[in-house]
């Protein structure tokens, strides 16, 4: 596969993944779909890892990769596609950092558990379990408020962890692909369609 076609494929994969992260983070802000609990959200939700890290910081390399998959450079096609590939190298490195941020914050959110009310006290009640609460669903009912917050957080943080792992891999592949594209150019013929 040519570096341009590969870049376009990777970019078209990264863009929906970044949008999934943005939506997942937005849903974390409204536990169980209710806005009444915004004063009782965990720190990991407020760090906006899905919106900033896995979302916007990965959307940039996704768009850059799609553009690098096009033909021409700096408007005139003077150097194949090397300028766009060079920009894609830097954007992909930026995307890897964003995805790592999303992975680390989301993983911490899974391990610590939600900020919830148990026996009249708001706290991170699952923090001492070191993540073992994830395997014991009977503990999930200990959180009285917000209702269903454990299931909500586990589902959405797991989605963010999975998406950010894919983003790290795809941004890393695009980083290598774009570096090859900078040094070797694109293998497509001049008359090939975009």
What is the mean pLDDT of the segment spanning 109-137?
84
Domain ranges across the chain:
2-68+80-184
- pLDDT tens, position by position, 144-180: 888 888 899 899 999 999 999 999 999 999 999 888 8
User: Is residue 191 predicted with pLDDT exceeding 80?
Assistant: no
Q: Which residue has the tokens 């040519």?
A: 2
The whole-number pLDDT of residue 112 equals 86
Mean pLDDT (the chain) is 84
In terms of pTM, does the model score above 0.75? yes
pLDDT for the residue numbered 72: 53
The secondary structure of residue 40, as a DSSP letter, is G
Structure tokens at 187: 């293998």
Question: Which pLDDT band, with edges at 50, 70 and 90, does 96 fall under?
Answer: very high
Give the tens place of pLDDT for each residue, 39-86. 888 889 999 999 999 999 999 999 988 888 776 545 445 455 777 888
Q: Tell me the H-state helices in the chain.
A: 3-28, 43-46, 57-68, 82-112, 149-184
Q: How far apart are CA 128 and CA 124, in angstroms?
A: 9
53 and 106 Cβ atoms separated by less than 8 Å: no
Q: What is the mean pLDDT of residues 127-154?
A: 84
pLDDT value for 78: 45
Q: What is the pLDDT, as a whole number, of residue 75? A: 47
| 88-97, 102-111, 182-191: least confident range | 182-191
Least confident stretch, 91-95, 125-129, 149-153, 187-191 = 187-191
Q: How many CB atoms are closer than 10 A to CB 119?
A: 8
Q: How far is CA 19 from CA 25, 54, 68, 113, 167, in A?
A: 10, 9, 20, 24, 12
Q: Token pair of 127, please?
A: 């923090």
Higher-pLDDT residue of 97, 66: 97
């Amino acid at each position: 596969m040519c570096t341009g076609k590969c870049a376009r494929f990777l970019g078209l994969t990264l863009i929906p993944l970044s949008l999934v992260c943005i939506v997942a983070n937005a849903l974390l802000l409204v536990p169980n779909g209710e806005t009444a609990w915004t004063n009782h959200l965990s720190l990991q939700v407020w760090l906006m890892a899905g919106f900033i890290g896995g979302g916007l910081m990965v959307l940039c390399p996704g768009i850059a990769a799609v553009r690098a998959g096009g033909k021409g450079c700096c408007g005139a096609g003077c150097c194949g596609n090397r300028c766009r590939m060079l920009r894609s190298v830097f954007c992909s490195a930026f995307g890897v950092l964003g995805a790592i941020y999303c992975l680390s914050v989301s993983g911490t959110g899974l391990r610590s558990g939600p900020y919830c009310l148990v026996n009249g006290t708001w706290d991170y009640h699952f923090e001492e379990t070191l993540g073992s609460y994830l395997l014991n669903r009977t503990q999930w009912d200990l959180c009285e408020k917000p209702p269903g917050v454990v299931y909500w957080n586990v589902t959405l943080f797991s989605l963010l962890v999975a998406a950010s792992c894919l983003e790290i891999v795809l941004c890393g592949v695009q980083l290598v692909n774009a570096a090859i594209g900078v040094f070797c150019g694109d293998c497509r013929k001049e008359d090939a369609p975009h």
